[in-house]
Amino acid sequence: MGKRRVPDLYRAPFPLYSIKVDPKTGLVITAGGGGASKTGIKNAVHFLDLQLVGEHQYSATLLHTHDTDTRATMNMAVGNGVIAAGQDGTCSLMRFKHCTQKEEGKASATDGGNSVQHGNARRRAGKGDKSGRDEAAASGDSSDMKDKTTHISVTALAEVQSDLNPQDPLQKVVRFSPDLSLLLTGGTDGHIRVWEFPSLKKRFDFKAHEGEIEDLDISPENKHLVTIGRDFSCSIWSGNQLAMCLKWLETMPQISQKTYRYMSCRFGKVEDHKDALRLYTVQIPHKRDRKPPPCYLTKWDGKSFLPMLTTSCGTEVISSMAVSDTGTFLGLGTVTGSVAIYIAFSLQKLYYVQESHGIVVTDLAFLPNSLKGKSIKGNNETAMLSVAVDSRVQAHAVPNRSTSCIIIIQRTQKCLLVFSADWVSSGGRLGTMVRTSLLLHASRHWGSFSACFVVVFVVLPPRLVRRGTFPVVCPH
């Protein structure tokens, strides 16, 4: 752990604010821009092709650039071939298709028929789409080219007004529900707006927080909505009715009220437990001191919403969070450009690169187990993509450890000691304590060691070690 260089997977000609991975098409979609200011910095959505190189590394090539005119995409959600992009105070919906050159004309004609007015949504004229050829030529990198027969078609569907702040309207967050039946947005006016999808008929519009909405997420089966605002609160909603407010400080009584505020929230599955659900939240200091206080990561029961575990995640202010599809891993990005991956079960840090990006990490996305039906993880336990204002896309991979060894030392009928081989070989206080304990037991009973102790080496898959699940071993 510590400072080390992560190679850039891709570099755009503008700041990046969002990244998503579409498992159906295998596309990596990233977006951003310079906004309405006339600085010459473009606003666009880039479609990338991701490939596994060897067992641990990745490469990406630009397939297509979709110009978004004078509006930068600050956040987005992707579902069933549709992008919901937050641009100023509106949510713009675009349909994309991955097709060959011959199919492109038919796909465009078909998509064009979908650009009609829905409910309170107004149609937006499509902007010019540019192929990856133009973008690669502009950057002077001819290697960012894919097969010429591969094309991405993008068609504007509609847009909805997602923020009504009279001074500076801005959509802060957008989500599709897991079943893609709802589209949810939050913005600087503190309102949550929920549309039925794809009809875009507005279902709810309610004031959730005083001030800006920071984040939101919706549980499977659309039962609960979690929202975070700048007003120090994290609220649980059933429809548009407030069910409860989370109180993470009950587990940390030494911390004063209103010294921390919630920053991010995500629901996550529990591996091998189909009916279980977890909610993860990040709390950051409301004000920065000369000696920076730590940020905190909390795991909640996703049904009772009782806190299960809270841990410090360092003094760098967290700017973004992601949860893997399986719920096994959490990803965190910071305002100083660092990237970390945590084990969801124990909230232990598994991977960390200090200042991997040069500035704020704006979004994270874990790779699914497969893209277009093909394995994409390689010989990695997990892999995650990150983007930042420095225009870079990076891939962070955690190599797969083939086995883990648990050393179980049992003194007949009296005690049972369980050590991980990683602990025995680790540095620091933990490793020293474990090695000292092993030596003391061995030196005291060396003469009759075979009679008093049974030493068992158990080879376990890393998945069981991550979750803290060990088989029961009964030596005879």
Sheet holding 43-53, edge to edge: 16-22, 27-33, 43-53, 57-67, 129-131
Confidence at residue 149, expressed as pLDDT on a 0 to 100 scale: 67
Confidence at residue 101, expressed as pLDDT on a 0 to 100 scale: 59
Cα 226 from Cα 184, distance rounded (Å): 11
| DSSP-derived 3-state class of residue 279 | strand
Retrieve residue 276's tokens.
């279980």
Give the closest residue to 185 by CA, choosing from 171, 198, 197, 199. 171
Confidence at residue 461, expressed as pLDDT on a 0 to 100 scale: 56
Sort 450 into a burial class: Cβ within 10 Å, 0-12 / 13-18 / 19+: exposed
Cα 235 from Cα 239, distance rounded (Å): 12
Confidence at residue 450, expressed as pLDDT on a 0 to 100 scale: 41
Retrieve residue 214's tokens.
């920071």
Mean pLDDT, the chain cut into blocks of 10 residues (476 residues total) = 78 97 93 89 96 90 96 97 97 91 49 38 44 42 49 95 96 97 98 97 97 97 96 96 95 88 97 93 90 95 96 97 97 98 97 96 94 82 97 95 52 46 47 53 46 46 52 36
Question: How far from chain centre, in Å, is Cα 369?
Answer: 15
Cα 373 from Cα 325, distance rounded (Å): 15
Retrieve residue 365's tokens.
């996305």
Q: Contact, 402 vs 357, CB < 8 A?
A: no
Confidence at residue 38, expressed as pLDDT on a 0 to 100 scale: 75
- Show Cβ contacts of residue 327 under 8 Å, excluding neighbours closer than 6 positions: 268, 269, 270, 271, 278, 344
Whose tokens are 């990596």? That residue is 28
Give the closest residue to 76 by CA, choosing from 87, 61, 65, 64. 87
Confidence at residue 291, expressed as pLDDT on a 0 to 100 scale: 87
